[in-house]
Amino acid sequence: MEKVKQKEYKVRKNYFAFFGRQLLLIILTIISLYPVFFMLITAIKSKEEYVFNKFGFPKALALNNFFEVFIGKNFGQWFVNSIVLSIGSVILSLVLAILASYALARYQFKIRDTILNFIISLMVIPPVIMVVPLFVFMSKIKLINSLPGVILIYAGLTLPFSIYLLTTFFRSIPQAIMDSSYIDGCSSLRTLTSIVMPLSKPPIITLIVVNSLWVWNELMIALIFLQKDELKTLMVGITVFKSRYNINIPLTMMGLVVITIPMVALYLFGQKYFVQGLVSGSLKE
């Protein structure tokens, strides 16, 4: 009798713990998702409806907001600028990082680990510290208001993480595999492109996802170095948008939805690699 009671108590306690945990997770989920949900449902309301219906689902869909966003001055141009910057700097950073990491992983030389540690330590330096001298220098060589100039900066800022991730991965490739192709008469560059790179798809995809996301979402550098309206990025544009359409909140929200879609798509495509990459930045123990 006593035993049954105890068991019952234990089961009830487990139920309580189970529902308690479930409840906490559900609350956290709602808090995490609600702002996104609010953005989505507001984006398809008309501005008249938003005045009296802030909270509920839209009664009439105002899908024309989507097209109106692009009619609004320069939005299409900003979109193109963001894409050019993302693709340009991700590719530049990737190529430079692959070459450097190959040297740091393949060869034994005295200051190899000093160089690597130095590069890794740059990961924690906030860009705001470099902004003033970079601006002074870039205005001297007339690279303000120039997309290539900003591509150079973005590539540089994403290099330390990229080199760190790739070097760690390259070092895990057995030396024998690289040596065998070397003996077969392949040059180092050939070994890199035909042996090492095909084996390194996971970290390369990680870097494409992480770095694109970083560049796409970057605000401060874009704000300072691309001041002409036709050179602005989406992130800078949206702050302009917000003040310009302060009375038309649904339109601003649609703008936000449009600039978020590419990155959510990229994240969905590379979720596995993305999480892996971020975690591997910290889990080397």
Which residues, 35 to 94, sit near other proteins by CB under 8 A? 35-36, 38-39, 42, 54-55
DSSP 97-131: HHHHHHHHHH---TTHHHHHHHHHHGGGS-THHHH
Residue 147 within binding range of other proteins, rule CB under 8 A: no
122 binds other proteins (CB under 8 A): yes
Query: What three-state secondary structure class fits 191?
Result: helix
Q: Which stretch binds other proteins (CB under 8 A): 64-72, 102-110, 169-177, 196-204?
A: 102-110
With respect to other proteins, which residue has the nearer C-beta, 177 or 220? 220
- 249-261 burial string, b = 16+ CB within 10 Å, else e? bbbbbbbbbbbbe
Contact with other proteins (CB under 8 A) among 11, 24, 61, 177: 24
Question: Please, which residues have CB within 8 angstroms of residue 95's CB and are 6 or more apart in sequence?
Answer: none
Q: Compute the Cα dihedral for 242, 248, 252, 255 and give only its sign.
A: negative
Check residue 173 for interaction with other proteins (CB under 8 A).
no
- Whether 207 contacts 277, CB under 8 Å: yes
When asked if residue 18 is in the footprint of other proteins (CB under 8 A), the reply is: yes
Between 60 and 95, name the residue whose CB sits nearer to other proteins.
95
Q: Which is nearer to other proteins, 29 or 64 (CB)?
A: 29
Size of the site for other proteins (CB under 8 A): 80
Ranges within 224-243 binding other proteins (CB under 8 A): 224, 235, 238-239, 242
Rule CB under 8 A: say whether 215 interacts with other proteins.
no
Spatial separation of the C-alpha atoms in residues 238 and 92, rounded to whole Å:
26
Looking at the Cβ atoms of 1 and 52, the one nearer to other proteins is 52
Find the helix packing angle between 64-71 and 249-280, rounded to 10°: 90
Choose between 1 and 267: whose C-beta lies nearer to other proteins: 267
